[in-house]
A and B are shown apart, each in its own frame.
Chain A
Amino acid sequence: MSDSSEGPDGVEAALALRARVATFISACPIAGPAADPARASVPSGMIDGAAFDAVCLAVLSHQLHHNAAYARFCARRGVHLDGLLELAAAQPTGEVWCVAPPVPTDVFKSVDLAAFPLTHPHGTFLTSGTTLGQARGRHHFLGLEAYEAGILPTFDAWMRPDGRPLSLVSLVPVWQENPSSSLSYMIGVLLDRSPGPDAAVFMDADGLRTQELRLHLERLAARGQPVMMLTTAFALVFLLDERPDWSIRLPPGSRLMETGGFKGRSRTLTREELYALAEERLGIPPHFLLSEYGMTELSSQLYDRSLVDFLAGRPLSRRLVAPPWLKVSVVDPATLLPLPRGERGLVRFFDLANVDSVCALQTSDLGRLHSDGLELLGRASDAEARGCSLTAEELIYGARDGQR
């Protein structure tokens, strides 16, 4: 089902708007070690509310004008292109982003939610299906300026707040080999702009090159060069399970960013079990074992605040924090109304960087919002499993002829 409007003005408007959003994102201060959990909102830095509203209004107007499917979706909820400001004024906080009706993420599997004509050259990120052949969500984009603008600042604020030079070691395929993966793209930006010494990638179409990876880590450890491992949870478990006798003490300051979780076919570990395994086998202490939350349908990421908390002398809460342009709320699944802090519900996002699609997304992830961040509680069990770990799994199993 393809339902985006035609017309070159949509493309030109999107280009200008993405540039505007990218500029706004680049100017946003990201909270770092000084992040104070006592702040009223999800701690993510100071943001000029009026400026944010103005950009939100522009993006929402653009999407309602050029994304016909989303416009109809909004119209059913009484949200129209003309009248956005009045609707915003009627919100409890008066904020524009609250007006945008969120689209459930499953919709991306069957509807092309693009604010530009799909006949125009564009790129598409795809979600991972839990089984081959299952419909995959499609996130279309004309350009990635807004996406890129937020990657490095957010990563540095929460993963490298100490400013230490780290060697990036990736267990995720490069984007050139996996162009439909938003995770590959994100890590590709990191590797391109801030790789550190001896950065390397050890996953490709043939699978995870475990022998080479172990040797590379041992060389870096011998030199005392701290490492930043970027991996899906599945790939990490695969590496460690393949050689149960192998372990290493990575140099102080080494850390690990894991993402994606376990998506069905691999052995499943809790996060606690995964981190205990990583600490035991890689020598990485808990405050350097960090998670990243991203979705194909999002352009921005949330990060584990534990390292920042550790450096500030605070206890590790494992809450996830978002950049200022990514609004996070938790809603009642029955009413879809926002819940008070501390109550369990479904996670919802408003990602300003989603210029070419829709900003407001409704997930099936369960969570609680706290003063210091989002506590993820897993997926609603009936929701389809999803994510990057399965991509790695398919690659690995494909390389080993399905051997488990």
Chain B
Amino acid sequence: MSLLSESIFPGEATSWTPERIHARARELEPLLPGMPLSDWLDCLATWTAAWSNPAHAFRVECDRLLSEATGFSLPVVREGLNRTFSAWDRRGMESLLQTDLAVSAHASRAGRDSSSRIPVVPRHLVQILAGNVPPPVVQCLMAALLLRVPCFLKASSRAPLFPRLLSSSLWTMIPETRQSIQVGSWSSDDRACTAALLAHADTVVVYGNHATLEAIQVQLGPDVRFVGRGHRVSVVYLARETLQLPGVIEIARRIAFDTALWDQAGCLSPQVVLAEEGGEVSPGELAVLLAGDSLPELASRLPPGRCGLEEQARQMQRRAVLEFGPGYWSGPWGAVAWVDEPEFVGPVSGRTLLVRGVESAADACTYLRPLRAHLQAIALEAPPERTELPGALLNAGAWRICPVGCLQSPPATWGGDGLPLLGALVRWADIDASTPRL
């Protein structure tokens, strides 16, 4: 625990008040503006490397604390964090900067090059998290760190631990970040504190449901950039050519992995498998395979976690409805339901996977119509000759197509929701050719 400060614990002497928020927000400064970008990336890579190492002392402790606080099983936490941080090595960070900002790691400072168009980073970034799975938290923090902007990150009062763990380890390993990065949490009912938080921001990122996004956006002035990241879900699509033995067994195992990680609670967690009819293995047989083999087998390695009484009640109600469908199997590992509704009815979570037969991608898009505003990614398994599928599936409203089994391992360059992670936060200033160089 030597790398973690005392500030990670609940009840830390940080009862946030509007006055305290104002004071802290005024103190935040740009992060190491004079340090060459390459050196800065080396610093960050050292920090992420520590988090990528599950054997590191503080990582072991953090995994345990996070498992206890969130209810995710320890193996799921461990695997999930490994996957998350594997994307944030130096190469990932360089790729993101290049992709989003056309910035080379060899530039002396982000945005300062000989181009006549330069990215203007936020003066004061506020990011408001939902009580969600860890990966978006890492994304938020990395965005602030890579842009080297002052950032006040409000964690959900329901899930404050992981942001605190991250910031605490950051302050310990890179003390200068204490001048630029602040994590705090208070109830969303505390409007005075939230108003104080927003008062200093010129850029605000909010995670949450529609009501939350709306409630924050309405408080912002017209000159404040707002980036809303609403709740989303993902799906799997299997071309009929892939539904044959023995290959489908491996596909089912990869689907099970994507489903099991974070207990299906993330935006990249698949809720339904859309399997084309006409393959050697029918959608119903695929459902039997997932329920009889893939999900139970994986549960022994990545056990399901525990959830609160309210979530258990919700799952119980939703699963009962599925039980009246064409096929339903359940166990301690979760549930699989073979469904035949014309449109997607609703996610269940808790490793409850729907399987539905479709005739084509167009048929799948019809089924996914209720999800159009909430679809994040589609994991696709198809032979190379089915070149029409990615484009056809994007019509469903997804923002990412990836191989089955890779849903939960997006690259650092992926921002989510169709928005670039860094690019959504910067503005671009044009300097006319006749203007003297900066």
Contacts and interface: CB of A to CB of B under 8 A. Distances in A.
B112 interface: no
A105 B314 CA distance: 11
Contacts of A34: none
Contacts of B311: 382
Nearest to A382: B314
Contacts, number: 62
B324 A1 contact: yes
Interface in A1-41: 1, 3
B312 A105 contact: no
Nearest to B312: A333
Interface in A214-263: none
A380 B312 CA distance: 9
B317 A104 contact: yes
B388 interface: no
A73 B324 contact: yes
A93 interface: no
Contact of B323 (A76, A105, A380): A76
Interface in A239-290: none
A18 B405 CA distance: 55
Contacts of A366: 309-310, 313
Interface in B310-356: 310-314, 316-318, 320-321, 323-324, 345
Contacts of A344: 309
A344 B317 CA distance: 18
A364 interface: yes
A343 to B, nearest CB: 11
Contacts of B317: 104-107, 362, 364, 383
A104 B322 CA distance: 11
A362 B309 contact: no
A316 to B, nearest CB: 27
Nearest to A113: B324
A362 B324 contact: no
A336 interface: yes
The size bracket of the interface on B is: 10 to 19
A106 B321 CA distance: 7
Contacts of A73: 323-324
A361 to B, nearest CB: 11
A383 B311 CA distance: 8
Nearest to A1: B324
Interface centre among A76, A333, A334, A344 (most CB of B within 10 A): A333
Contacts of B318: 106
A346 interface: yes
Nearest to A76: B323
B20 to A, nearest CB: 30
B321 A380 contact: no
A317 interface: no
A282 B309 CA distance: 38
Contacts of A345: 309
Contacts of A109: 321
A86 to B, nearest CB: 24
B323 A333 contact: no
Nearest to A380: B313
A336 B318 CA distance: 15
A119 interface: no
A56 interface: no
A211 interface: no
B323 A334 contact: no
A334 B304 CA distance: 13
A364 B324 contact: no
B323 A381 contact: no
A266 to B, nearest CB: 16
Nearest to A345: B309
A110 B321 contact: yes
Contacts of A334: 312
Given A380-B310, A381-B310, A383-B310, A333 B316 contact: yes
B320 A106 contact: yes
Nearest to A3: B324
A377 B34 CA distance: 57
A69 interface: yes
A335 to B, nearest CB: 10
A402 B311 CA distance: 33
Contact of A111 (B310, B313, B324): B324
A362 B321 contact: no
A103 interface: yes
B174 to A, nearest CB: 39
A110 B342 CA distance: 13
Contacts of A3: 324
Contacts of A381: 310
Contacts of B314: 364, 380, 382-383
B422 to A, nearest CB: 34
B132 to A, nearest CB: 15
B306 to A, nearest CB: 8
Given A366-B309, A380-B309, A382-B311, A336 B316 contact: yes
A383 to B, nearest CB: 6
A299 to B, nearest CB: 20
Interface string A94-111: 000000000111110111
A104 B324 contact: no
A107 B316 contact: no
Contacts of A76: 323
Contact of B324 (A105, A110, A333, A336): A110
A202 B345 CA distance: 38
A69 B345 CA distance: 20
Contacts of A106: 317-318, 320-321
A193 to B, nearest CB: 36
Given A333-B316, A336-B316, A382 B310 contact: yes
A397 B383 CA distance: 55
Interface in A356-404: 362, 364, 366, 380-383
Interface string B43-78: 000000000000000000000000000000000000
A107 B317 CA distance: 7
Nearest to A384: B317
Q: Which 6 A-B pairs have the closest CB atoms?
A: A380-B313, A382-B314, A333-B312, A104-B320, A106-B317, A380-B310
Interface of A: 1, 3, 69, 72-73, 76, 103-107, 109-111, 333-334, 336, 344-346, 362, 364, 366, 380-383
Interface of B: 309-314, 316-318, 320-321, 323-324, 345
Given A111-B324, A380-B313, 13 more contacts: A3-B324, A104-B317, A104-B320, A107-B317, A107-B321, A346-B309, A346-B316, A362-B320, A364-B314, A364-B316, A382-B313, A382-B314, A383-B310
21 contacts: A69-B324, A72-B324, A104-B316, A104-B320, A104-B321, A107-B321, A110-B321, A110-B324, A111-B324, A333-B316, A334-B312, A336-B316, A346-B309, A346-B313, A362-B316, A362-B320, A364-B316, A366-B310, A380-B310, A382-B311, A382-B314
